[in-house]
Amino acid sequence: MGEVEFGKDEELKVKIVDGGEYKEPGGGIRKPSQEEIDEYKIHRIIVMIIFGLVVVILLLLIVILIATTDGCEAMPKEKKLPWYKSGVMYNIYPRSFKDSNGDGTGDFKGIVEKLDYLKGLGVNILYLSSVFKIDKTVDYGYSVIDFKNTNPEYGTLKDFQNLVDSAHRKGMKVIIEFVPSDTSIKHDWFKQSSTGKNKTDWYVWRNNTASLSGSWSKDSASGQFYLHQDGHPSKANLNWSSNAVQAEMQSVLEFWLDKKVDGFRVVSIQRLIFGSNSTELGDWRRIHEIVQKWHNYTTKKSPNSILIGSSHPANLKLYGTKEHPELNIVVNFELVGENSAFYTAANFKDIITNYIEKLSEGNWPSWALTSWVHGRVGSNVDGQFARSLEALLLMLPGTPIVFYGDEIGMQNVNVTGNPAEDNKAPMQWEDSKNAGFTTKTSTWFGGIGNTSYTNAKDDQLGIKKMFKKAIKLRMENATVLLDGPLANFTVISEGDVLAYTFKDKVPRFAVAINFGDKESTINLNNIGVKSGTLKYHTADKKPGKITMDAVKVPGKVLYLFEVTKMK
């Protein structure tokens, strides 16, 4: 036993040594007092108690750690997802977003005025519908007159550059639509081609169309027939078999990349080349070659840029392959509904499952509830359910594309009777005349939505508030929420409730959403979730205790759980 030294003051110091002798520092031997012995015993007892408590606490911590991680593998090393994967894409139709000069039409400066609003939402990718100079008497967007200039109603190239630079300063990316399949017949290229002297192979010309498929119209200047999209003789198909056309359109991409745009959304890719036996499906082999060239060029010119796009019907092969990549995202409109009957748990389960199963390894999903050619989700469901659907959009694995105004539940405004047009009403900024969109007494659209029902300032439906919270959660947990192996993505529906998670034993998240009006119960054990903590919900009040084997989800409400234990 080692020596123990203690004393009551500086003059008296006693050492207790083996054998029971008690020595003073000066060499004298005396027996300690009973008071000193009792003090020593108390000291030893206290030390032993503290040591025991430390051991017990450590054992408890080990037990808790084992219990909470049983069934869950360790999280993979945190990685930062590419910006287009973790980000939220916000589709702006510039004509209807914000008018800065009082002419009744939205413009680039108006978008700049509202960048702080978008930043406040958490949006970080601005996707601008067609910004090119167009023949506005046709379809206001796709009848391009000049690919290297802007629509003058939106502003000048300088105004556009200011928008891009301003967005970048706020940490936002900007992508624009690219419309490569045809041009307006008012385009200078078409005028030159019709003379038969220049650019003769830039369009598809024929002297006689009697035995040809497709839609053809006669050019009054040349007397020849030109190929065009069905029902649109005001636009002429470019001849993408021409090397000169391919080179010129590459220079268009270069022009806008030099303006620092972060990518392009390519429209109607299926119409690039028309096959001899079909006016719709085209020659896909040649189309893939063209898209691969775009990808190779844009990534070389601007390595951090992206290409997204769509075709009708959808063609997921446009993702390309590992060896020959094409689009970063093939835009998915499968969750865009036409009426309220579309929104059921069983239907969404089938759509999501089938879509995920069709994706190849490395394909990144995308989702939308509204698009600029479809009616608004806010016209199909009520405000409470719109909250939950927007949250679902943000929490599915992949990139969400949000149509402007959906974050407040905007509805179609019946002006034309066509949902593809009536969804483009001016943004409802406040409950005032013309909704704070313009100072003019009228708008280009001819009407304004019901601002007392919803507007961005008052957020009467509470969608914007929930939207912001969902984006914040998405950004803070992007890797575990979004980037799981799609082969392990598991979706079920029980009654009116849809639920999903990544069933891969990594502690991730699980979502349950009730498509019905009444409370419904779902067993999350059936997707492998044994325990979890509620992290987000769209209910009006926070629910009480929840067990994973019987999750009671109120009608039209979404729950998101942080999984703590998998089965």
Q: Which of 455, 480, 505 is the last residue of a domain?
A: 480
Condensed to tens digits (0 to 9), the pLDDT of residues 332-371 reads 999 999 999 999 999 999 999 999 999 999 999 999 999 9
pLDDT of the residue at 18: 46
Of 54-58, 103-107, 167-171, 313-317, the least confident: 54-58
Q: CB–CB of 359/312 below 8 Å?
A: no
Domain check: are 197 and 312 in the same one? no
Task: Please report, for the domain that includes residue 205, its CATH number.
Answer: 3.90.400.10
**% residues pLDDT > 70 (the chain):** 87
Computed over every residue of the chain, the mean pLDDT equals 90
Same domain for 27 and 89, yes or no, is no
Chosen domain end from 206, 239, 272: 239
Q: CATH number for the domain including 527?
A: 2.60.40.1180
Q: Are residues 51 and 97 in the same domain?
A: no
* 120 shares a domain with 200: no
Q: Identify the pLDDT of residue 78.
A: 54
Q: What is the pLDDT of residue 50?
A: 78
The residue segments making up the domain with residue 490 are: 485-566
* Cross-strand bridge partners of residue 399: 366
- Which range has the worst mean pLDDT, 414-418, 471-475, 477-481, 503-507? 503-507
Q: Residues for the chain: how many in total?
A: 567
H helix runs in 147-276, sequence order: 157-169, 188-194, 243-258
Domain count of the fold of the chain: 4
The predicted pLDDT at position 77 comes to 52
Residue 135 lies in a domain: yes
Report which of 392, 401, 564 is spatially closest to residue 491, judged by C-alpha positions: 392
Report the alpha-carbon distance of residue 4 to residue 443 in Å, rounded.
93
- pLDDT score at 40: 65
Residue 131 lies in a domain: yes
pLDDT at 132 over 50: yes
Assess whether 30 and 53 both reside in one domain: yes
Residue 126, pLDDT above cutoff 90? yes
pLDDT for res 213: 83
pLDDT of residue 19: 46
Q: How confident is the model at residue 554 (pLDDT cuts 50, 70, 90)?
A: very high
Q: Is residue 57 part of a domain?
A: yes
Same domain, 254 and 332: yes
Do 284 and 369 fall into the same domain? Answer: yes
Asked if residue 76 belongs to a domain, the reply is no
Alpha helices in 132-240 (DSSP H): 157-169, 188-194
Task: Give me the pLDDT at residue 506, please.
Answer: 76
CATH number at residue 130: 3.20.20.80
Residues 459 and 324 in one domain: yes
Report whether pLDDT(555) > 50. yes
pTM as predicted: 0.86
| pLDDT at position 216 over 80 | yes
- Give a yes or no: residue 133 inside a domain: yes
Looking at the fold, whether 451 and 387 belong to one and the same domain comes out as: yes
Residue 435: the pLDDT is 97
Q: Is residue 75 part of a domain?
A: no
What is the pLDDT, as a whole number, of residue 54? 72
Q: What are phi and psi of 159, to 5 degrees?
A: -65, -40
160 & 278 share domain: yes
Q: Which residue has the higher pLDDT, 417 or 9?
A: 417
Paired residues of 514 in beta bridges = 497
Contacts of 194 by beta carbon, 8 Å cutoff, 6+ apart: 219, 221, 222, 224, 226
pLDDT tens for each residue of 499-547:
999 998 777 999 999 999 999 999 999 999 999 999 999 999 989 999 9
pLDDT bracket for residue 29 (50, 70, 90): low
**Do residue 172 and residue 189 come from a single domain?**
no
Classify residue 78: in a domain, yes or no.
Answer: no
Domain boundary among 427, 460, 480: 480
Question: Is there a domain that residue 77 lies in?
Answer: no
Task: Specify whether 506 is located in the same domain as 428.
Answer: no
Quote the CA–CA distance of 91 and 469 in Å, as a whole number: 20
Provide the pLDDT for residue 273: 87
Tokens 């219990």 locate to 67
Are 327 and 319 contacting, i.e. CB atoms less than 8 angstroms apart? yes
